[in-house]
Structure 1
């Protein structure tokens, strides 16, 4: 991991903390991909070496580690590409991390719908995140190419973000209907599927036939939802910077820690009652930024530090207000759950 990070620094010419932005060479991309591969390999071979139920304590530790890595990479960007690029990176990281919380809640709905045992969920999410990193890379390069070749596309991106902001601000929450998802319906039609799960396998051979398990259907669902969420988050970060490396690295570090974040937040998603409103404000802000800068150019340019401050304040207020205004029914249900757990333990001891 340190070798890959070192290669990132060594690849720059005349880096340092100044305003000069180093060129992102193929060596830099290779080093960053190697860093991501090492992190994923550690997760696969050390953290997830066998299927198990992830405890809240374990999820909290891994979430803290992933967040620390993502934030620490800001220092690498600062030293190598300068303070302005570092601000763009951390702003993109915050945008992606905050928007990904809704993604986490959708995973919870999918796992509940498909009745996926807890001990197999981490494995599905590992491969889901791996696919998400690949898809994000393609989306980022496509998005930047469109912005560079079609000047009017900035208004399309801005309008789309404003529309999404409106939907988030006026919605009652994320809606998911896996039963009528056209992709999943098609999979069931063309691929023979086992009746139940076969441990953590996606494919099995039974009675001489190659079959898929319901776990593959869950994986496809996760990839499909991530693509939908990427359509929102990628334009939002492109409103901050057009540097593909900054956009991709902030995206990658933000989504790599989502598995741990899922196990930490899945049981308390209903407590974030103002999350959609906060995300709506953030997307509305970056959408207006896109359009204003497209119309007025540099005269309407909003500095990155201003965007970072707005996003940080909105997120802080969102979580603070959600914490302060918990519905009474939620506290009651929490107390009921604790009582039920205590009763169950008492019955087992008898």
Structure 2
């Protein structure tokens, strides 16, 4: 399977080069007036007016109990924004089209792209996606796409599937029960003939697929589908894979040595997560196996210059290292990394800060240091009233 993915032919390279980003005058920064003009241009199309009319007369009525004495809130409060804000306009048009004719090939991509932007808004705003509705809602669509024999032929679909499936796996780190994408989606991402996942986050697709298998098995174990013995076998095999992995045997988007460096950080992220199964409290963070991976992640962070474009993709590995330490100088270095990434990307990652603070405070108050303080307890514990997705990118 892996070898077939690595055979990128000259034709595929040419196909990749033909992908062009078509820009309009309104794609360049031009202040509020250009944005208003952009909305007005879209509104000028007859197709846009038909979809807005359909949203007004059909979709709005289908969403509420009609009452002559009370205005329809979608018609009164949401629809007017579509005439002022490009993002809301596109969202309204997408919903109207989906409701009117169902999803064709392009409609599927539009829906996934819309959800992706909403997820990025969540990440930018707080790092928390309320109740996980966005990712969970697209899991069925992604599953159906991956059942088709030609799913891998579209670079756009490959990109959308890769980043959404990656975010699904990341939320699975905080609690395997949150994983909603089926293994067939991760298989599709693994087999794709493009470097979408690697160039997006720096994590080799082999790691994504392997840790995704671990998380799905953990979910099935929690649901009583997989026995503890079978789960332990999967964990042992995955641990062996990550510990024996050789960076020189993998294929990267380019010859830049930083790909291997970043891959090393994600390798130890996966090792840490595997060590936390099946009991997240069993091994203290001071254990040699845990600290070996923590030190390796922080060494990677120290090896990448902070002004390098590679450094901004280090959000998740230092976070994982931070959740697994009680050592002051390690906590301090994690803080430095996070602050630099916040400064260079503009994403504040408030949820990361909140989780780290809670974990570190809990460790300071520990009476029994032989018991771990799992960061997952602050994201999807049974004691929490609300279960949200914690997302990182």
Q: Which has the higher contact order (CA 8 A, sep 6+)?
A: 1
Same fold (TM over 0.5): no
Which TM-score bucket, shorter chain as reference?
under 0.3
Q: TM-score, normalised by structure 1?
A: 0.26
Q: TM-score, normalised by structure 2?
A: 0.24
The structure having more radius of gyration, on CA atoms, is 2
Structure having the higher helix fraction is 1
